[in-house]
Chains A and B, each alone.
Chain A
Amino acid sequence: MAATLAARDRRFGQLMAAPGLAALLLVIVFPILFTLYTSAFDFTLINPRHDTFVGFAHYARAFGLAEFGNALLVTLWFVVAVVVLEFAVGFLVALMLNAVERGKAVYYAILLCPLLINPVVVGLIWRMFLHPELGIANYVLGLVGLGPVNWLGDPRNAFWTLVVVDIWHQVSFMIVLLLAGLASLPKEPYEAARMEGAGTLACFWHVTLPLMRPVILVTLLIRLIFAVRTYDLVYIMTRGGPGQATDLVSYFIYRQAFVGLNIGQASALAVLLLLIVLVLTAWLYRHMRSLV
């Protein structure tokens, strides 16, 4: 009896997952298989045919590409910086937002605004703000005796400028998810904790954090994947420069594919990136779930 119940449960689960999976299979599987297959061929846009099999040559070449290594490193720092900083700011704001009632909808509407501007426009607008000679940012700093700052023309500054603009644009993504998580927490554990005399901080540490762990995990993972995919902002703001300071890997792969026209090589780089991110994700997923 128990076995059949479990089997029925399993079947119900499969039934529920099936339509979504079918829709995904229909559109995404062919492009992914194409990418895997193409990575083993000398497939360029000049000669877009799978007629020269090169095996793992593109993969072998990837390890010798100094630019690819640099791009991976820059991306690693970028991802760590934006995910950590956006989580810190995002969680704080979400907690505060969850604690207020008055003005909540107004605050919420305000924080959604940057999300509705697409990255290309965000990049162009911030380039205007950050123009060292003609921008409002340096003018305001000048009024209080600071600056002028060379926001995008200096390799070190350019990286952090990019991070800050990304935070302005994307931090609300985390707030929306984390706030939804906070809003669906049950009340009872808090009441129990209060009865035992726990303070606000203790409640946060022993009740909120453990209960929020699944939502936090998902928020971090999704934001991480998006951060790895970042390319529009770099494309508009720095083109990977100055020097190679902001050469994110997605933009590097874009250049391999559409400037170098080498789809085979770009596919191999993309697959390598996929493997790296997948391993990282699986590790984070297991690690964080085991904490629950």
Chain B
Amino acid sequence: MRKLLLGTTILGLGFGAAEAQTLNILMESVPDTRFVEELLPEFEAATGIDVELEVVNYAEMHTKLVPQLVSPTGSYDVIVVDFYWVGEFAKAGWLQPLDERIAADGFDTSVYFDSLQDLVGQVDGEQLMLPFYNYAMGLTYRHDLLEDPAEQAAFKEKYGIELRVPETWDEYLQQVEFFTRDTDGDGKNDFFGVVNQGLRPDPIAMEWSNYLFANGGRFHDESWQPMLDSPEAVKAVEDYKRNLEEFGPLGAASFGFDEAFNVAAQGKAYSYLTYNMFRTAYDDPSQSAVVDKMEIVAVPNGGLNGAWGWAIPNSSPDPDAAWTFLKWVESPEIAKKRAMLGGSPTRKDVFADEEVLAKYPYYPALENLLATSHNFPVFTYTPQFVEVLGRELSLAVTGEKTAEEAMQTANAELEALLKQDGKL
């Protein structure tokens, strides 16, 4: 009935529409989704466009999207795309280029971080998405312990260097070892230097990428030649395995990010290398026992970047209304409001906003995270490569393969996938 009334109103106003315009959006369940949902009434009031926001589990989103995108007309006007589907979606031509609309409306895309434009903005010079929110990985650690004079003295005595926010990878590994303890004297460690997310495929693959970069390794060289059989990559696997086995909790080989976060949030770990949006979660007393005790910093050598982008699929029934929404949701005002609610912004102006900085003093650290981060290889078969890498790492961690064997297989399979994609 409400729809009908609205429809007649619009008809009366001379918009010529037979019924209320409805925009269908498909999103995954991320914190930012809730904030967008909260702000939707503003959009509806400003434009008269009704929004139907459908939210699905992030892991299942791909399964839901693909049949939609393959067909000529789908149900969704606007979708969000994870960075590791970008190569695949671009190759299949499922997304509408936004360049003409951007030029026509003078929408400024220079406000986005370059690393995010590379990841979830432009593909081969075409703007296929607008960066929506970032989940670059960083090192979260117990700053209360790090700043404790007793700990500092003990650390200096043991390692001969200062205990400080780690600037080198070796320094961090020493801290991990240092903080791993048996606090109740039962012969088993119950406070851990690090908690890892060893679940196949993306949790372990994403987390390990930081170990790779930290060791100076890379996935491939400038000409896409894979470099996973390098000594740096093998060392990264060994570091990872050692952290997980010697300095981490039992069962970390099966942890997803939820299990790992809970170990850190319960105050049982010194550090957790994870997505930056967990920084906010540590300060939420309903899920964390370490409120105000955790801080985030860039991984030495730069960590892994990650982000989602807004896109208009080719199967979109109403691309014009979709663009109206994109312009609104990525406008400076709304982007700022989302950040104030606790979102993960992608625009530089939001990071520079005084109100935002006053509320979230750790934003400069996040900005640094984005500026120093490295991208995962984005090509058509990225998801498949994540599977391969996850499997091989898991085999190495459980001792079914050596680090060398695992990396050789991963390297060979990456090469095969790159060849299949024509990159090699």
| A contacts B directly (C-beta below 8 A) | yes
Closest A residue, CB atoms, query B259 = A131
Q: Which positions 240-254 of chain A face chain B at CB distance < 8 Å?
A: 240-245
Q: Mark B194-208, 1 if CB is under 8 A from A, else 0.
A: 000011110000000
- Residues of A within 8 Å of B251, CB to CB, are 131-133, 150-153
Task: Check: B92 CB closer than 8 A to any chain A CB.
Answer: yes
Task: Check: A58 CB closer than 8 A to any chain B CB.
Answer: no
Task: Check: A255 CB closer than 8 A to any chain B CB.
Answer: yes
- Residues of A within 8 Å of B88, CB to CB, are 46, 261
Task: Check: B391 CB closer than 8 A to any chain A CB.
Answer: yes
Known: A45-B66, A45-B70, A258-B62. A133 touches B254 (CB 8 A): no
Contact B253 A153 (CB under 8 A): yes
Task: Check: B400 CB closer than 8 A to any chain A CB.
Answer: yes
Contact A239 B91 (CB under 8 A): no
Contact A134 B250 (CB under 8 A): no
Task: Check: A155 CB closer than 8 A to any chain B CB.
Answer: yes
Task: Check: A189 CB closer than 8 A to any chain B CB.
Answer: no
Contact among A46, A133, A241, A259 with B268 in the assembled complex (CB-CB below 8 Å): A133
Q: Which of B63, B200, B383 has the most CB of A within 10 A?
A: B200
Closest B residue, CB atoms, query A127 = B259
Task: Check: A191 CB closer than 8 A to any chain B CB.
Answer: no
Task: Check: B414 CB closer than 8 A to any chain A CB.
Answer: no
Closest A residue, CB atoms, query B394 = A241
Contact B262 A155 (CB under 8 A): no
- Residues of A within 8 Å of B70, CB to CB, are 45, 48
Task: Check: B404 CB closer than 8 A to any chain A CB.
Answer: no
Contact B198 A153 (CB under 8 A): yes
Give the bracket for the number of chain B residues in contact with chain A.
Answer: 35 or more
Known: A45-B92, A243-B395. A134 touches B266 (CB 8 A): yes
Task: Check: A148 CB closer than 8 A to any chain B CB.
Answer: yes
Closest A residue, CB atoms, query B401 = A243
Contact among A47, A131, A148, A242 with B398 in the assembled complex (CB-CB below 8 Å): A242
The binding surface of chain B is classed by DSSP as helix
Known: A45-B92, A239-B200, A258-B63. A153 touches B254 (CB 8 A): yes
- Residues of B within 8 Å of A258, CB to CB, are 62-63, 66
Distance between B183 CB and nearest chain A CB, rounded to angstroms: 13
Contact B380 A155 (CB under 8 A): no
Closest B residue, CB atoms, query A133 = B249
Give the bracket for the number of chain A residues in contact with chain B.
Answer: 20 to 34
Task: Check: A158 CB closer than 8 A to any chain B CB.
Answer: yes
In angstroms, Cα B73 to Cα A230, docked, is 32
Task: Check: A39 CB closer than 8 A to any chain B CB.
Answer: no
Known: A132-B251, A158-B254. A243 touches B398 (CB 8 A): yes
Known: A45-B70, A152-B254. A243 touches B268 (CB 8 A): no
In angstroms, Cα B202 to Cα A255, docked, is 13
- Residues of B within 8 Å of A260, CB to CB, are 381, 383-384, 387
- Residues of A within 8 Å of B200, CB to CB, are 238-242
Closest B residue, CB atoms, query A240 = B200
Q: Mark A34-48, 1 if CB is under 8 A from B, else 0.
A: 000000000001111
Task: Check: B263 CB closer than 8 A to any chain A CB.
Answer: yes
Task: Check: A154 CB closer than 8 A to any chain B CB.
Answer: yes
- Residues of B within 8 Å of A242, CB to CB, are 198, 200, 253-254, 394, 397-398
In angstroms, Cα B64 to Cα A258, docked, is 10
Contact B201 A239 (CB under 8 A): yes
In angstroms, Cα B262 to Cα A133, docked, is 10
Distance between A70 CB and nearest chain B CB, rounded to angstroms: 11
The binding surface of chain A is classed by DSSP as loop
In angstroms, Cα B180 to Cα A28, docked, is 57
Closest A residue, CB atoms, query B252 = A153
In angstroms, Cα B254 to Cα A255, docked, is 19
Distance between B268 CB and nearest chain A CB, rounded to angstroms: 6
Closest B residue, CB atoms, query A262 = B384
In angstroms, Cα B262 to Cα A10, docked, is 64
Contact A244 B384 (CB under 8 A): no
Q: Which of A151, A152, A153, A260 has the most CB of B within 10 A?
A: A153
- Residues of A within 8 Å of B63, CB to CB, are 258
- Residues of A within 8 Å of B252, CB to CB, are 153
- Residues of B within 8 Å of A47, CB to CB, are 92
In angstroms, Cα B382 to Cα A126, docked, is 31
Q: Which positions 255-270 of chain A face chain B at CB distance < 8 Å?
A: 255, 258-261
Contact among B256, B258, B387 with A259 in the assembled complex (CB-CB below 8 Å): B387
Distance between B244 CB and nearest chain A CB, rounded to angstroms: 9
Distance between A172 CB and nearest chain B CB, rounded to angstroms: 26
Q: Which positions 261-299 of chain B face chain A at CB distance < 8 Å?
A: 262-263, 266, 268
Closest B residue, CB atoms, query A138 = B250
Closest A residue, CB atoms, query B400 = A243
Contact B380 A239 (CB under 8 A): no
- Residues of B within 8 Å of A46, CB to CB, are 88, 91-92, 380
Contact A148 B66 (CB under 8 A): no
- Residues of B within 8 Å of A152, CB to CB, are 251, 254
Contact A134 B262 (CB under 8 A): yes
- Residues of B within 8 Å of A245, CB to CB, are 398
Contact B263 A133 (CB under 8 A): yes
Q: Mark B390-410, 1 if CB is under 8 A from A, else 0.
A: 110011011010000000000
Contact B249 A132 (CB under 8 A): yes
- Residues of B within 8 Å of A244, CB to CB, are 391, 394-395
In angstroms, Cα B259 to Cα A127, docked, is 8
Contact A153 B400 (CB under 8 A): no
Q: Which of A132, A148, A260 has the most CB of B within 10 A?
A: A132
- Residues of A within 8 Å of B201, CB to CB, are 239
Q: Which of A45, A120, A158 has the most CB of B within 10 A?
A: A45
22 A-B pairs with CB atoms under 8 Å apart are: A45-B70, A46-B380, A127-B258, A132-B250, A133-B249, A133-B263, A133-B268, A150-B250, A152-B251, A153-B255, A154-B253, A154-B398, A235-B59, A239-B199, A241-B390, A241-B398, A242-B253, A243-B394, A243-B398, A244-B391, A245-B398, A260-B383
Given contacts A45-B92, A134-B259, 4 further A-B contacts (CB under 8 A): A133-B250, A133-B251, A151-B254, A153-B198
Chain A contacts to B: CB under 8 angstroms: 45-48, 120, 127, 131-134, 148, 150-155, 158, 235, 238-245, 255, 258-261
Chain B contacts to A: CB under 8 angstroms: 57, 59, 62-63, 66, 70, 88, 91-92, 198-201, 249-256, 258-259, 262-263, 266, 268, 380-381, 383-384, 387, 390-391, 394-395, 397-398, 400
